Amino acid sequence: FMSHIHSFMSLIFIHLYHLYSFIYICVEGNIASGKTTCLKYFGKTNNIEVLTEPVSKWKNVHGHNPLALMYQDPARWGITLQTYVQLTMLVNHLSCPSTSLKMMERSIFSAKHIFVENLFRSGRMPAVDYAVLTEWFDWITTNISIPVDLIVYLQTTPETCYQRLKHRCREEESAISLDYLESIHQLYEDWLVKRTYAALPAPVLVIPGDHDLQKMLQLYEENRNTIFSACSS
């Protein structure tokens, strides 16, 4: 299994390195799937620029907190937050990397295909709001070139995410249920694994995310070496 990942990553990175001078990677996964650990691990090395989700912006736009409003009343404030998420994600995608490799936490694609989709399907976003967001998304992704070379998908079961959530006590996450995590998981699986809906912007590397910290770091270490050897070859 490890050698499969290894050779797959080598191929991708060597190929990409010779095509472009920059490599753009998005790390995708459920809430508490292990993205932060993954990004922190890679962020420790100075060849990689890490862009975490711009949550602080979502909590303060000119003194307003659209993230908190959305959790209070999704039907009213979902479009407000998601419009801002779409803008701030686009800004992250288009920011020039200071290194040859940029790693982003999630993407404009998962914002739409996972989180907006879930709000709409669960009946917490009016159809008109969904239609407006969809037109924005289609316009942006059709008319603006958004470079993504690889999606790293941390495939963690909703049960594991739920256990991790309970341990980390982030204020705005306190109301997140196992049901919610299961819906998000299902959408991620349909999009990135079963590929039954929405186009993929890049190849997908699936990393199983249920392991303990030590084993996850081991897995990342394998990938890190592959990235570096490809980038310096």
Ligand X SMILES: *[C@@H]1O[C@H](CO)[C@@H](O)[C@H](O)[C@H]1NC(C)=O
Cα 44 to chain centroid, rounded: 19
| Interface with ligand X, residue 144, by CB under 6 A | no
Given candidates 143, 145, 214, 232, which one binds ligand X under the rule CB under 6 A? 143
Cβ of 151: how many Cβ atoms within 10 Å? Answer: 22
| Interface with ligand X, residue 139, by CB under 6 A | yes
Q: Which stretch binds ligand X (CB under 6 A): 20-28, 107-115, 135-143, 217-225?
A: 135-143
Quick one: 137 or 153, whose CB is closer to ligand X? 137
CB of 139 to ligand X, least distance (A): 4
Given candidates 21, 142, 145, 214, which one binds ligand X under the rule CB under 6 A? 142
| Interface with ligand X, residue 145, by CB under 6 A | no
Tokens of 122: 């669960």
Q: Which stretch binds ligand X (CB under 6 A): 137-145, 148-156, 162-170, 214-222?
A: 137-145
Cα separation, 4 vs 223, in Å, equals 11
Binding residues: 29-37, 164-168
Q: Which chain residues interact with ligand X by CB under 6 A?
A: 138-139, 142-143
